[in-house]
Amino acid sequence: MTNELAGLIRQSAHQLARAQVTSPQVDAELLIGHVLGLSRGQVQAAALTGRTLSEESAAAVQTLVDERARRVPLQHLTGRAPFRTLELHVGPGVFIPRPETEQVVQVVLDRLAQHGPPRPSVLDLGTGSGAIAAAVAAEFPAAEVHAVELSAEAAAWAELNLGPHGVTLHRYDMRELPEEWQASFDVVVSNPPYIPAEAVPTEVEVREHDPHLALYGGGADGLQLPRAVINAAGRVLKPGGWFIIEHAEAQAAALRQICAADPGLDEVTTHQDLTGRARATSARLRSAA
Ligand SMILES: C[S@@+](CC[C@H](N)C(=O)[O-])C[C@H]1O[C@@H](n2cnc3c(N)ncnc32)[C@H](O)[C@@H]1O
């Protein structure tokens, strides 16, 4: 093991590449940055100026790189996941927020900006780390945001992330929301579990570290929970309110069909992520005639 930063980056990236980590160089720089309290850019700059590390820091880096080489998610090792403007607290027991979900938040924000009342109420079903709810609250401070989560472990992480943004967290099964929530929300958003039971993820980080409750949607098509979200939205949305749901690209047509077949819904729209994949669907609860 070297104490010279540039060499340590090279060695660490090489070890991670051998372990088939997808972005070995980035992960090596981020892990080193985590130990040194530096951003990735600062690590690169320090390497160029020939910085060296103490024995202690180099050993701490090696421990983290060994863990990452065993395919422990990067975010579990740093304890943080970037999400839109936020740095969320994450770790074992909670789903790591994904970049495509940032686009789901954008759809919510666009709907709020175009159609929302001055103080809209927003409900995030299956909030996990609280990513969607916290981002909406941070970027649309006029919204009153509520979040629902079933898992106690996930809820503990959500508390950390939602508290600073004034989001109210509720421990419920999204299939059994309280009666008194009927027709209460302007927007319902969800990134529910949606993976079909047989489609076990190949990525070790996902298969072994994301909670199963967060991954599998139920049923051969994985759509039991997504259907539950649509049902719940039909009950708790105000007439004219919107819901937005994330799903797999292969499920876009099915989701569109489910929404189009529901006489209570209109304005069914499929949304693409930044790579052009159909990864979310929105619809509006019809206003009373
Ligand atoms: C795919 S994760 C999404 C987490 C977060 N919204 C995000 O986008 O990063 C789905 C979340 O739904 C939660 N969940 C699963 N079944 C649920 C249920 N029946 N009621 C409430 N939450 C549930 C899981 O624990 C998990 O946190």
Where in the chain is CATH 3.40.50.150?
A: 81-285
pLDDT score at 137:
98
Q: Which residues are annotated as a binding site?
A: 126-130, 149, 191-194
C-alpha distances (whole Å) from 200 to each of 203, 214, 215, 222, 255 are 9, 13, 9, 11, 21
- Does residue 271 sit in helix, strand or coil? strand
Where in the chain is CATH 1.10.8?
A: 5-70
C-alpha distances (whole Å) from 72 to each of 17, 64, 190 are 14, 9, 26
CB 279 within 8 A of CB 251: no
Which atom of ligand 1 is least distant from the CA of 246? Answer: 8
Q: What is the CATH number of domain 5-70?
A: 1.10.8
Which atom of ligand 1 is least distant from the CA of 174? Answer: 20
Q: Which residues are annotated as a binding site for S-adenosyl-L-methionine?
A: 126-130, 149, 191
Weakly modelled stretches of the chain, pLDDT under 50? none
Cα-to-centroid distance, 132 and ligand 1 (Å):
11
pLDDT score at 120:
96
Cα-to-centroid distance, 73 and ligand 1 (Å):
19
pLDDT score at 116:
73
Q: What is the pLDDT of residues 78-124, one digit of tens each?
A: 999 999 999 999 999 999 999 999 999 999 999 999 877 889 999 99
Q: What is the CATH number of domain 81-285?
A: 3.40.50.150
pLDDT score at 1:
64
95, 107, 247: which to mutate for ligand 1, most atoms within 8 A of CB?
Answer: 95
Which residue's alpha carbon is nearest to atom 11 within ligand 1?
Answer: 126
Cα-to-centroid distance, 64 and ligand 1 (Å):
28
Which residue's alpha carbon is nearest to atom 26 within ligand 1?
Answer: 214
Cα-to-centroid distance, 190 and ligand 1 (Å):
8
Cα-to-centroid distance, 156 and ligand 1 (Å):
13
C-alpha distances (whole Å) from 131 to each of 120, 125, 137, 237, 281 are 18, 11, 10, 21, 18
Q: Is the CB–ligand 1 distance for residue 191 below 6 Å?
A: yes
pLDDT score at 287:
86
Cα separation of 28 and 214, whole Å?
28
Sign of CA dihedral 43, 47, 49, 55: positive
